[in-house]
Structure 1
Amino acid sequence: MENLGLAQYSQEIQDKVAQARQRVSDLHAELPRWGLVVWTAGNVSERVVVNESGPSTDDLFVIKPSGVRYEELTPEAMVVCDIKGQLIDGDRSPSSDTAAHAYVYEHMPEVGGVVHTHSSYATAWAARGEEIPCVLTMIADEFGGPVPVGPFAIIGDDSIGRGIVETLSNSSSPAVLMKNHGPFTIGKTAEAAVKAAVMVEEVAKTVHLARELGEPVPIPQEAIDSLNDRYQNVYGQ
C-alpha cells in the first residue's frame, strides 16, 4: 500500500499526529482490560484536525494496524490515514475497518473518535438484530434511549460506515449495534468513544440478565429525556 508520509504536513500537524498515536495506543489497552476484544479483533481511531477552523475533509486519523495483537501495539505501530482511508504514514496496513471509520469522520464532523469491538453481550444483541431497550437509568444517561441496530453490511468498503452514519445521525446514542457484526461507538474524543464501548457492553449484559428473570420495565420517554439532559449537561460539572 502506498505510503505518502507526513513530510507534506507542518511540524505542528506532525506533533498532533504523534500525540494522537500515543493516545490511541493507550486507549487500545483499555479494550482487553474491559474484556471487549479477543486476539486482534477491534480497533480505536482518533481524528487529527488539520485546519484550525475545525474538522473537515482535510483531516487525518490515527488507527490500529491490521492483524496486530494488543500486547504488540505501540504508538509507533499506529498508522495514519486521510479522511478517505488512504494510508499516509505507517509500516503496516490499516485496520480492515478503516473505510468505515473514514466514512464516519467524513460525514460526521462532530465525531473525534470511533471504536469497534466484538464484546460478547453487545454482539449477541447484534446477532439477533435487536436494539437494547431503555430500561435502565444508565441507558438513559449514556445513550438517551434504546441502543439502535444498524443494517447488515460487508467489511471491506464504506458500507459499514454508511450504516453507522445513517443510524446515528438521527439518534442521541453514541453506540450502534451493526446487525450480525457488533458494536461501533463514536465520541467527541477517542476516549469518549471507548467509554461508550465499555458502557454498551455493560448495559447489554445487564438487560440480558434482566430478561432471564422476566420482562424489563421500560422508562417513560419524558424521564429518559430528563435523565439524559442531566447526565450530559450537568453531571460532573
Structure 2
Amino acid sequence: MSRPAETLRRVREEVNRLHAELLRWGLVAWTSGNVSARVPDADLMVIKPSGLGYADLTPDTMVVTDLHGTVVEGEHAPSSDTASHAYVYRAMPHVNGIVHTHSPYATAWAARNEAVPCAITAMADEFGGEIPLGPFALIGGDEIGRGIVATLSGHRSPAVIMRGHGVFTIGADAQAAVKAAVMCEDVARTVHLARVHGPLQPLPEHHVDALYERYQNVYGQHDDPQGARP
C-alpha cells in the first residue's frame, strides 16, 4: 500500500472513531452533525457522508474531497456542510479538524442569538473568553464557513455558535475540535443553569487572561522532564 493510501486510511479511521464520540457525549441526534479532518501533506479532507445514521458509519463510508468540496474518493455524497468545512481549511491553514453539532444547550444560545458569556473558569481555560455568536447563514454553500472564519479569526475561542443554527468548532486536529465541541456544550449548560437563577457575573478580563495562559501552557502532562509542570 502506498503512503498516501495509508494516510487516507488512517484519517478515515480517525474521523469515523470521532463520530462515535459525538454520540457518546450526547452532542448529536439521528444523522445530524459531522466531523472532518484535513489530510496531512495533501489538499484533501475526510468528512462524514450526508444522511447516514451513526450506526452505519465505517471508515469506508467516510468521503474524501478536495479543499473545494469536490469528491475524490468515496461511494456516498459528502455532508451538506462540506463546502463550509472546505472554506475554513482554505482560509485557516492552522486548522486540521472541524466539528459541527446541534448540541442542545449550546444551540439554545444560538436560538436566542446570544454569545455564551465567560462566567466560569472552565470557559476561560478552554475558550479564552466568551463563545462568540456568528452570523446566520443558509446550509449548502460556503456561507457558514465564511461566517466561521470571520468570527473566529483573531479570537481565542475554538468554538462559534452560529445564529439560529448550532455549534462549529475548530482544532489543531480533529480530536481537539471534538474536545472543543464537548466543552462548548458543557459550559453552555452550566452558564444557562446559572442564568436561570439570576444575572450572570462575567469574569474580569485579567483573570480570564491568566486562566487561559495557565491552562494552555502549564496544565497537563509534558514530555520534557526539565519543563515538568503541575
Instruction: With the length of structure 1 as denominator, give the TM-score of the two structures.
Output: 0.92
Matches within 5 A, 1:1-237: 11-50=2-41, 58-236=42-220, 237=222
Q: SS state of the match for residue 189, structure 2?
A: helix
Structure 1 residue ranges (4+ consecutive) displaced by more than 3 angstroms after TM superposition? none
Residue 219 (structure 1) shift:
0.6
Amino acid in structure 2 at the alignment position of 1:32: L
Amino acid in structure 2 at the alignment position of 1:122: A
- Percent of pairs with identical residues: 61
Q: SS state of the match for residue 38, structure 2?
A: strand
Amino acid in structure 1 at the alignment position of 2:88: V
Amino acid in structure 2 at the alignment position of 1:67: G
Instruction: Extract unaligned runs of 5+ from structure 1.
Output: 1-9, 51-57
Pairwise CA RMSD: 0.9
Q: Deviations over 1:71-121 (max 9, x none)?
A: 110001100010111100000000000011000000000001000000000
Q: SS state of the match for residue 29, structure 1?
A: helix
Q: SS state of the match for residue 141, structure 2?
A: coil
Distance in 1 (CA, whole Å) between partners of 2:198 and 2:157 is 25
Q: SS state of the match for residue 126, structure 1?
A: helix
Structure 1 residues 210-219 or 200-209, which shifts more? 210-219
Q: SS state of the match for residue 170, structure 2?
A: strand
Residue 215 (structure 1) shift:
1.2
Instruction: With the length of structure 2 as denominator, give the TM-score of the two structures.
Output: 0.94
Residue 11 (structure 1) shift:
2.1
Residue 234 (structure 1) shift:
1.1
Distance in 2 (CA, whole Å) between partners of 1:41 and 1:20 is 21
How many residue pairs match? The answer is: 221
Residue 170 (structure 1) shift:
1.9
Q: Deviations over 1:139-181 (max 9, x none)?
A: 0000000000000000111000000000000210000000000
Distance in 1 (CA, whole Å) between partners of 2:103 and 2:65 is 26
Residue 49 (structure 1) shift:
2.0
Q: SS state of the match for residue 227, structure 1?
A: helix
Instruction: Extract unaligned runs of 5+ from structure 2.
Output: 223-230
Residue 70 (structure 1) shift:
0.3
Amino acid in structure 1 at the alignment position of 2:143: S
Q: SS state of the match for residue 184, structure 1?
A: strand
